[in-house]
Amino acid sequence: MVSARGLRRVCGSVVAVDDVSIDIEVGKIHVVCGENGAGKSTLLKIVAGVMTPDRGTVRIEGAPLVPHRADEALRRGVAMVQQHFALVPEMTAVENCMLMDAFVLRPAAMRARLRGAMDALGFEVATDVPVERLGVGEKQRIEIARALTREARVLILDEPTAVLTPQEATELYDALERLRGQGRAIVVVTHKLDEIERYADVVTVLRRGKCVLAGARARGSSTADITAAIMGAGHGIGTATALAAPTDEVVLRVESLTLAPSLRGVSFEVHAGEIVGLAGVEGNGQRELTQVLAGLVEADAGSFRASGAAIAVVHEDRQTEGLVLDATLADNVLLGRLGEVSRHGIVDLTRFRTEARSRLNRVEPLLDADALAVSLSGGNQQKVVVARTLADIAGGARVLVAAHPTRGVDIGAAAVIHERIRDAARGGAGVLVVSADLEELRGLCHRILVIARGELAGSFAPSASDAEIGEKMLRRRAAS
């Protein structure tokens, strides 16, 4: 159906995709996997015409994709659901679907088509509400249904389950299997091994832009070979060091915190030396909780009290909230802390440089203090953010709130960041880690809280199963 040969694409100074070929067949679920930054998204964006390759060709049913554009690929039946959804937030599902349709709009007809597509998939989503008011899972369903209204025969999904609960993920794969049965080709990007094990008919593994494994596999077969291919030989992850049990001292006490409409009476405590995980589907109040704790937003009701100086926060979106991308690392690691290296309002540049250097050294001695933040990989960017908060802790803060500290970060950097978070706890700080990745929380935390619709829905030991935790995460939205 689709066959790409010798694709190569350079992004900045990195060869994102290097001489990769891929064949996509109908009636198959094709999984593309690899570490963060391995080139999965770039490869499939090229296949779907969203990005142009520097070299290589994409053929759809034998004919080359010319011009190499998304609308042309779509016209010929290849649709992609990207990680950051390509929906216009202020427009409804129906309006979003009409974007590439007839010149004079026919909303009624489009609504019928969209409903038809949703029925075929077993979806039920409001079609006439601005999509910005819908949850991530619902937006994803709209994207998939939209692809079907365009008669897509190849459907490419980029990390579709990253933002879903385990139950929602299962429902998604049910729908995808249904589509496969209708003679469509499905391509899924994921790095979750259980999904590969259960659903993949064909697997392609990328590592550092190169294809290291490709081929059909029996469903349900072992994934050891794939794991090895993803990691590469001799690429061991540093083993996590042990954590002591938390003390009795409470360093963060949150009491019935309420912020309409996102938080409803959230109460919990974090002890000195404790790492508490906060699990949940994105958009269930985690972001608002972080912002209230960071002092950026005032709560409607309830209170929180933290020991020590102000709470140190790793914000969830490092590119906008964490870093000033066009500034140097030195400026970033001292962002908002210039007072510490100034006298009478004048910055002492010598102290500025030595202080920045010593802060960066806590996480990564190889970082160049004069480099611009924008030039770093995601992992190194996040290290800079972590370095700043660690300095806050050294400066007297006793609570660390880390929102999605390793999202989009390569495995090596994630290990470093986890270890620094453990260091903070060992030093007597209380840590709250917000994450959508249960595996991460299991490896890091003493206990895991689950948040759903702005309320705490349960507290679990790290050993609790996906099903147990997932069930609390889901808690169907009532009348929204």
Binding site for another protein (CB under 8 A): 50, 69-72, 74, 80, 82, 84-91, 95-96, 98-105, 294, 296, 310, 313, 315, 320-327, 331-332, 335-339, 342, 345-347, 349, 388
Smallest distance from the beta carbon of 306 to another protein, in angstroms?
15
Cβ closest to another protein, residue 373 vs residue 415: 373
Distance of closest approach, residue 333 Cβ to another protein, in angstroms: 10
Q: How far is the CB of 87 from another protein (least distance, A)?
A: 6
Q: Which is nearer to another protein, 64 or 345 (CB)?
A: 345
Our CB check for another protein shows the closer of 151 and 269 to be 151
Comparing CB distances to another protein, the nearer of 49 and 285 is 49
With tokens 């259980």, the residue in question is 194
User: Which is nearer to another protein, 322 or 470 (by Cβ)?
Assistant: 322
CA 400 to chain centre: 21
Query: Minimum distance from CB of 420 to another protein (Å)?
Result: 18
Smallest gap from Cβ 99 to another protein, in A, equals 6
Which residues, including other chains, have CB under 8 Å from residue 165's CB and lie 6 or more apart?
137, 281, 470, 473, 474
Q: Which is nearer to another protein, 41 or 165 (CB)?
A: 41
Distance CA 268, CA 64 (A): 58
- The tokens describing 318, both together, are 């490092």
Q: How far is the CB of 363 from another protein (least distance, A)?
A: 17
Q: Residue 259: enclosing H or E segment and its boundaries?
A: strand 250-259
CA 356, 368, 15 angle in degrees (round to 5)?
145
Cβ-based nearer residue to another protein, 87 or 416: 87
Neighbours of 114 (CB within 10 A): 23
CB of 319 to another protein, least distance (A): 9
Residue 15 or 335: the one with the smaller Cβ distance to another protein is: 335
CA 254 from centre of chain: 27
29-33 and 55-60 beta bridge pairing: unpaired
CB atoms under 10 Å from CB of 479, counted, come to 3
Q: C-beta of 112: minimal distance to another protein in Å?
A: 18
Cβ proximity to another protein: between 409 and 456 the closer is 409
Which strands form 312-314's sheet, in the order they lie side by side?
Answer: 312-314, 399-403, 430-435, 275-279, 447-452, 455-460
Q: To the nearest whole angstrom, how small is the minimum distance from the Cβ of residue 21 to another protein?
A: 24
- Of 129 and 347, nearer to another protein (C-beta) is 347
Query: Which stretch of DSSP H or E encloses residue 381?
Result: helix 378-394
Amino acid letter at 454?
A: G
Q: What is the 3-state secondary structure (H, E, C) of 133-197?
A: HCCHHHHHHHHHHHHHHCCCCEEEEECCCCCCCHHHHHHHHHHHHHHHHCCCEEEEECCCHHHHH
Minimum CB separation of residue 233 from another protein in Å reads: 37
Q: What angle do CA 224, 229, 232 make, to 5 degrees?
A: 115
- 10 Å Cβ neighbour count for 103? 4
The Cβ of residue 228 has, within 10 Å, a number of other Cβ atoms equal to: 14
Which three-class secondary structure state does DSSP give residue 237? Answer: coil
